[in-house]
Amino acid sequence: MTGTKEVTPEKFRDVLRHVPTGVTVVSALAPDGPVGLAVGSFVSVSLEPPLVGFFVAKTSTTWPRIEPLGRFCVNVLGEDGEAVSRAFAVSGGDKFAGLDWRHSPMGSPVLDGALAWFDCTAHQVSEAGDHVFVLADVHDLSVRPAGRPLVFCHGTYQRLVTRKA
């Protein structure tokens, strides 16, 4: 094609900063304790069968600890979850220090205060550029009766505001 400009990683990231994403934590129970990572690419894939998906950077040091377990919980953070998101977005350390959680029906950590959670098993993991795409079967799920999601956009955490019609 003539007249097209190269899409550099910098320009791509700059434009994508304007696309709001929900903030989730993928958690699992490894033999040495709970592990988890922040994910901003969680998506509903299918209603029948119930499937969800998310992307993980190939550079993640946590995903290689979760993937062999085959099961995990996707915790959707509420608007009060910014500190939790920041804790799970860093590499290393005990991300669960000071956090309360309980076991999902399949044994993965459900973070107290999560707006919603999905108890999953890995269905398929596919290469996707510098990430992997994780397609997951949903076995159980739940949502708090009230609350708003934590959203990330323009390089910062955002809160949704309800407008009257």
Q: What is the pLDDT along the chain (165 residues), one digit of tens a residue?
A: 555 678 998 998 889 888 888 999 999 999 999 999 999 999 999 999 999 999 999 999 999 999 999 999 999 999 999 999 999 999 888 899 999 999 999 999 999 999 999 999 999 999 999 999 999 999 999 999 889 999 998 888 888 877 777
> What pLDDT, on the 0 to 100 scale, is given for residue 3?
58
Residues near 46 by Cβ (< 8 Å), separated by ≥ 6?
none
> What pLDDT, on the 0 to 100 scale, is given for residue 13?
86
> What pLDDT, on the 0 to 100 scale, is given for residue 16?
86
Residue among 81, 90, 77 at smallest CA distance from 22: 77
> What pLDDT, on the 0 to 100 scale, is given for residue 4?
65
First to last CA, the chain: 45
pTM for the structure as a whole: 0.90
Contacts 24+ apart (CB under 8 A), 157-160: 157/23, 157/82, 157/85, 158/20, 159/79, 160/79
For 88-98, give one letter per residue: b (16+ CB within 10 A) or e.
Answer: beeeeeebbee
> What pLDDT, on the 0 to 100 scale, is given for residue 158?
86
